[in-house]
């Protein structure tokens, strides 16, 4: 796709990153679960102990999507992998290959780093995302259940 740039985010992108995170949360009907601030997010993503990477999709010099990911590890493979936390493209820019370009870039990063796999979660009601991932060759892990323990339960 012409005029599409996929690049790593930097601290100057924080307002757009936070805005896209809120858009994603609203789409997923989880906006009430955002408890961070833009400044706190900036410190987490770009501070000294950061462990998250973000790819930005720019189309015609406008940020239209992002992919937020971090390293995980597979004991079975004996290798690190990538966990894709968020992949989001603004609704008006979907079906233009932007999400695919972001995912392909993440896969190329995993290959370059000799990682064993790329994994992510998708809400079971998000049929368009599920279909998108399946078209790319991804397979759902239907025999696994995700558990979560939040800090208020520690």
Instruction: Give catalytic residues, as residue numbers.
Output: 133
Q: Where are the beta strands (DSSP E) in the chain?
A: 4-8, 52-59, 62-74, 79-89, 118-120
Give me the residue label for tokens 């858009």. 23
The answer to whether 104 and 71 have CB atoms below 8 angstroms apart is no
The rounded radius of gyration (Å) of the Cα atoms in the chain is 16
- Two tokens at 118? 């790329």
Q: In angstroms, how far is CA 99 from the centroid of its own chain?
A: 10
- Two tokens at 119? 């994994």
């Amino acid at each position: 796709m012409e005029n599409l740039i996929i690049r790593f985010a930097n601290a100057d992108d924080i307002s757009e990153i936070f805005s896209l995170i809120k858009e994603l949360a609203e789409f997923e009907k989880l906006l009430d679960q955002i408890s961070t601030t833009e400044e706190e997010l900036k410190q987490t993503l770009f501070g000294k102990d950061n462990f998250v990477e973000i790819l930005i999709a720019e189309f015609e010099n406008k940020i239209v999507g992002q992919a937020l990911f971090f390293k995980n590890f597979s004991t079975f493979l004996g290798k690190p992998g990538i966990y894709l936390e968020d992949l989001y493209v603004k609704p008006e820019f979907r079906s233009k290959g932007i999400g695919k370009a972001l995912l392909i870039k993440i896969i190329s990063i995993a290959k370059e780093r000799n990682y064993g796999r790329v994994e992510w979660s998708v809400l079971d009601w998000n049929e368009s995302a599920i279909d998108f991932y399946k078209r790319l060759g991804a397979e759902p892990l239907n025999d696994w259940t995700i558990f979560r323990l939040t800090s208020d339960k520690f």
